[in-house]
Amino acid sequence: MTGNASQPRSLCIDPLNPCAPIGAMYAAFGVHGGLPLSHGASGCCRFQRMELAKHFQKTVHVPSTLLRDRAAMFGGELEVVEAVENVFRLYDPEVLVISTTCLSETIGDDMGGIADRLEVPKNKSVVWVSTPGYAGSQLAGYGATVAALIRQLGGSASSVAATSSAPAAASARRLCLLPGWLNPCDVDVAVGYAEAFFDEVTVLPDARGVFDCKTPDDPSCYAPGGTPRTEIERVSQCSCGLALGYEATAESACALREVAPATTVAELPLPLGITATDRMIAALVDLSGREAPSWIVRERKQVIDCLMQVADQLYGKRILVCCDADQAAAAASFAVDAGMVPSCIAVGDTTAGFEDRLRSEVALPKDCAVLTGVDRQTVEEHVASNPVDLVLGDTRNKRLAAREGVALVRIGFPVVDRPLSYTEPIAGYRGALALLRRIACALVDAGERGMAPEDLSISRYF
């Protein structure tokens, strides 16, 4: 079942995904010394950066071109020129990423032409990307931004190498990892696996050391993490590429193939759960020609052993998965691994073919509803007539879970009501173990809710 509302509505009630410019901001911050510039009204910029700030519980600085009514009539080029000049003068970023919003896209500014006419300081770079807030989710904005970084920085470098007398050869031991939309701790898991097989790994973008550390007090100082610009310029020298999460990396994987035609790029779902992590490890074995190290084998054995310990608690539990498309697909795979029954997969905006790809890769029950491009009202209507035991998804599902009297296990973006949630990995085998424990505990807590104190069991085992 692919859903819209059971009764068509002209009103969207709480969309299931944030807008594309938020994804552009997250990707831009994943560049070392990178700074996003929101080309639009100030309110848009404030809302978008606050979503990131609340999820990561830290200050996030994002400048804006501050479009007003004059620009809506005559275009926003003057505002872009002024903003770029001020940003380089005040904040001195290495790479400035200009992303559009609903207003600037509706005006129809020629961002390619404007970017070509900008005066950019020496040894600095400006990248622009089209991210209309009314078209696509945060994953689409994230993917478009990573693709723009590859094409506008990596592409220019490869062209120079191709015309030089001694072009740089691709390194047989270098991997370009496109991690998709993951928390920094999950990016770290994916990078750890990649580094077990490759001598050099370029991570683009790299949120580690940016969103998992304190924002510097001085706005002209930058966090230590992020992908260096020189690494982006060298992506054409990577012999292999690995893209995680179809929705967030399809366009950037395509861009990588464009700037490095000889590069072999494997596209996989996010490595959440045993099966999805198995696929990532198998791809790394195939790309590198190396065997999996013993520590990865031990991790896999441990999570399987632990799964067997709680299998009776999880088996047959019906779950609703309601988060972004990449996380939802991976979480559905995890649920099937654990013996649970996905009752409904609900996501916001997706690319074409999402349901077909999901059903071909995950053994979903035939009666599992796959709702795409819907709002939260539609999801609540569906769950009211198709009860579930557990909800997997972001914070905005908490009212739905409370109305149905079931537990909510928080994953995805945003999670804004539980401290330090962004620090606990759910990727890889160790992440699968952590998520397994959270789900099992949530079901136990739900079962004990409302019981008299004297009826509470002190120990479940023995």
Coil, strand or helix at 156? helix
Please give the Cα distance from 210 to 223 (Å, whole number): 5
Please give the Cα distance from 438 to 424 (Å, whole number): 11
Helices (H), 209-269: 229-233, 246-259
Please report the pLDDT score of residue 167 as a whole number. Answer: 42
Residue 239, judged by CB atoms within 10 A of its CB (0-12, 13-18, 19+), counts as buried
Kindly state the average pLDDT of the residues 382-401.
96
190, 428 contact by CB (below 8 A): yes
Please give the Cα distance from 293 to 282 (Å, whole number): 12
Structure tokens at 281: 């490890």
Per cent of the chain over pLDDT 70 is 94
Which amino acid does the sequence have at 330?
Answer: A
Structure tokens at 352: 């074409």
Please report the pLDDT score of residue 74 as a whole number. Answer: 86
May I ask the CATH architecture of the domain 169-214+223-295?
Answer: 3-Layer(aba) Sandwich (3.40)
21, 101 contact by CB (below 8 A): yes
Please report the pLDDT score of residue 9 as a whole number. Answer: 76
Closest-CA residue to 372 (of 67, 1, 3, 33)? 3
Structure tokens at 149: 């970084």
Please give the Cα distance from 270 to 268 (Å, whole number): 7
Please give the Cα distance from 56 to 415 (Å, whole number): 9
What would the pLDDT profile of 316-334 be if each residue is shown by its tens digit? Answer: 999 999 999 999 999 999 9
91, 124 contact by CB (below 8 A): no
Please give the Cα distance from 24 to 128 (Å, whole number): 10
Predicted confidence (pLDDT) at residue 164 exceeds the cutoff of 90 = no
Predicted confidence (pLDDT) at residue 58 exceeds the cutoff of 80 = yes
Please report the pLDDT score of residue 162 as a whole number. Answer: 43
What stretch of H or E contains 49?
helix 42-56
Please give the Cα distance from 233 to 236 (Å, whole number): 7
Domain(s) of CATH 3.40.50.1980: residues in the chain? 20-135, 169-214+223-295, 306-454
Question: Which range (53-62, 413-422, 450-459) has the least confidence?
Answer: 450-459
Coil, strand or helix at 264? strand
Closest-CA residue to 159 (of 236, 265, 64)? 236
Q: What is the mean pLDDT of the chain?
A: 92
Coil, strand or helix at 64? strand
Please give the Cα distance from 248 to 325 (Å, whole number): 9
Predicted confidence (pLDDT) at residue 207 exceeds the cutoff of 60 = yes
Structure tokens at 451: 């019981």
Q: What's the topology of domain 20-135? A: Rossmann fold (3.40.50)
Kindly state the average pLDDT of the residues 68-81.
90
Please give the Cα distance from 339 to 317 (Å, whole number): 8
Closest-CA residue to 195 (of 211, 182, 208, 177)? 177
Residue 67: which residues within 8 A CB-CB, separation 6 or more?
39, 40, 41, 76, 79, 103, 104, 107
Predicted confidence (pLDDT) at residue 229 exceeds the cutoff of 90 = yes
Which amino acid does the sequence have at 437?
Answer: R
Q: How does DSSP assign 145-177, residue by residue?
A: HHHHHIIIIIHHHHHHHHHSSSPPPPEEEEEEE
The pTM (predicted TM-score) of the whole model is 0.93
Task: Tell me which DSSP letter residue 455 carries.
Answer: G
The edge-to-edge listing of strands for the beta sheet with 34-39 is: 34-39, 95-100, 125-129
Question: Which range (10-14, 199-203, 268-272) has the least confidence?
Answer: 10-14
Which amino acid does the sequence have at 146?
Answer: V
Please give the Cα distance from 92 to 116 (Å, whole number): 19
May I ask the CATH architecture of the domain 306-454?
Answer: 3-Layer(aba) Sandwich (3.40)
Distance between alpha carbon 298 and the CA centroid of its chain, in Å?
28
391, 409 contact by CB (below 8 A): yes
